[in-house]
Amino acid sequence: MGADVHPRNELAHWHPVLDSRTLRRAPVPVRLCGQDLVVFRGQDGTPAALDDRCAHRAMKLSCGTVEGGRLACPYHAWSYDAEGNGSAPSSPNLSFSVPSYEVQEAGGLVWLRARGGTGDLPPLEHDGYRMVCTLRRRFAAPLEPVIDNFADDEHTAAVHLAFGYDPERMHEVELTVETTDDTVTSTCVGPHKKVSPVLAPLFGIRTGDELTIDWTFHFSPLHSVFDMRWVDPGTGRERSFRDRIDVFFIPIDDDTTELVYRQMTTMRMLGEPGFQLLVRPVTSLITALEVRVDQHILANLADTSGDLSTMRLGRLDRSLGMVRQRLDRIYRQRPGRTVGADASAIDAVAAGEPEALPPVVRRSATAAPPVADVGTGVTVRRGDRPRQGAARLRRTARSV
């Protein structure tokens, strides 16, 4: 058997590292938690994953080929099976292996974790919902700031283009947070921002509708389930468009985080042809634009350490500490790691007292890291100005 011990705790959890359709005959390199891995399909098409480093003289196995279900190194043709057991044509009695991983395919995604890992995949299909799209995008930021962005509904007012709260009425937004040992659930309710006259009839929502954004974070595998619904404040009736997005978080390395979005809706309004020809493409495009503005924001943080103790949190940041605590304990398996923060202050934030944290401590500037490629067909660099990007995206959104 190949080696199965891995030093990174995070690798113990399932991560959707590839879309199934991108894994064909050729091996594919994957970077996860700073580790270089290679994924390939064995004899019967079942995916397998190994460290991307030949045991012989350190060639990248991802440059090799798959022959008879074995991954052959391009340098001297030593080859490996799905468990990482090696075979050397020139030294048939040599015993060697490379570390291998558990792999499974579900929901059109290839999932990977260390052998002997923990947690089950969540349900990927949901009664009453139809799939809109699956998007995979990279953010030029470490995991913690990306997680914080998804535990924050306040930014939907200032940042997002089509959906979110009315920036003029943010004081009316109400937040409740509930926790269990291994989940954090937030429910945010408030008036919706101005809805484009093109989008209003398509989605059946109106300016000033009562918007509820409900999300639950889970930590093995690391993902959050978002549910957005709109209510007519006059009649109290729920609109027919309801949006659900399951977001999976994949740390590529210490500077880059990849996200997989699986978006679904209950929308029935325009029938199947209307859904396939109109609702689905338009919703997918809007989601892609909304993701891109988040990418621009996160590429421009002054400090990516994620140190909550240097931040002056407000009343709508109440869930951040609760999410961080579970991230550290369950996902990173390092309780108390919460970056740079004074433990008692974070406990207070986790208990719902955001003012417990001290005011911002100014830190000396750090050099921006080199350019990061952040996503399929999308390049957002650290230092790209968010305003320019957002203005360009707003023009695109208006033309939708």
Q: CB of 74: closest distance to ligand FES in angstroms?
A: 7
To the nearest whole angstrom, how small is the minimum distance from the Cβ of residue 37 to ligand FES?
Answer: 16
**398 lies in the site for ligand FES, by CB under 6 A:** no
* Cβ neighbours of residue 252 closer than 8 Å, sequence gap 6 or more: 31, 32, 33, 34, 138, 258
Under a CB-based contact definition with an 8 Å cutoff, are residues 187 and 223 in contact? Answer: no
Contact flags string 21-60 toward ligand FES, x per CB under 6 A: ---------------------------------x-xx-x-
Identity of residue 159: V
Between CA 213 and CA 61 the distance in angstroms is 44
In sequence order, what are the beta bridge partners of 124? none
Q: How far is the CB of 88 from ligand FES (least distance, A)?
A: 7
Among 76, 130, 268, 329, binds ligand FES (CB under 6 A): 76
- Check binding of 193 to ligand FES (CB under 6 A): no
> 313: which residues sit within 8 A by CB, 6+ positions away?
320, 349, 354, 355, 357
Q: Does 221 sit behind a cis peptide bond, omega within 30 degrees of 0 on the bond before it?
A: yes
Positions in 256-275 near ligand FES (CB under 6 A): none
Q: Is 73 in the site for ligand FES (CB under 6 A)?
A: yes
CB closer to ligand FES out of 49 and 202: 49
Binding flags for Fe ion, 284-303, as an x/- string (CB under 5 A) = ----------x---------
Nearest Cα residue to 24 out of 53, 50, 47: 47
Nearest-approach distance from CB 159 to Fe ion, in angstroms: 6
**Spatial distance between the Cα atoms of 339 and 328, rounded to a whole number of angstroms:** 9
Nearest 10 degrees: Cα torsion 382, 383, 385, 386: 40
Cβ proximity to Fe ion: between 52 and 294 the closer is: 294
d(CA 389, CA 293): 7
Query: Does residue 78 touch ligand FES according to CB under 6 A?
Result: yes
Half-sphere exposure of residue 187: CA atoms within 13 angstroms, side-chain side: 5
Binding segment for ligand FES (CB under 6 A), chosen from 69-77, 121-129, 188-196, 380-388, is: 69-77
CB of 52 to ligand FES, least distance (A): 11
For 176, phi then psi, to 5°, come to: -125, 145
CA–CA dist 171, 166 (Å, integer):
10
* Contact between 94 and ligand FES per CB under 6 A: no
Q: How far is the CB of 69 from Fe ion (least distance, A)?
A: 43
In the complex, what is the shortest distance from the CB of residue 110 to ligand FES, in angstroms, rounded to a whole number? 24
The partner in contact with residue 170, picked from ligand FES, Fe ion, none with C-beta cut-offs of 5 to 8 angstroms by kind, is: none
Q: Which is nearer to ligand FES, 76 or 268 (CB)?
A: 76
Query: Which residues sit at the interface with Fe ion, rule CB under 5 A?
Result: 294
Query: Which residues sit at the interface with ligand FES, rule CB under 6 A?
Result: 54, 56-57, 59, 73, 75-76, 78
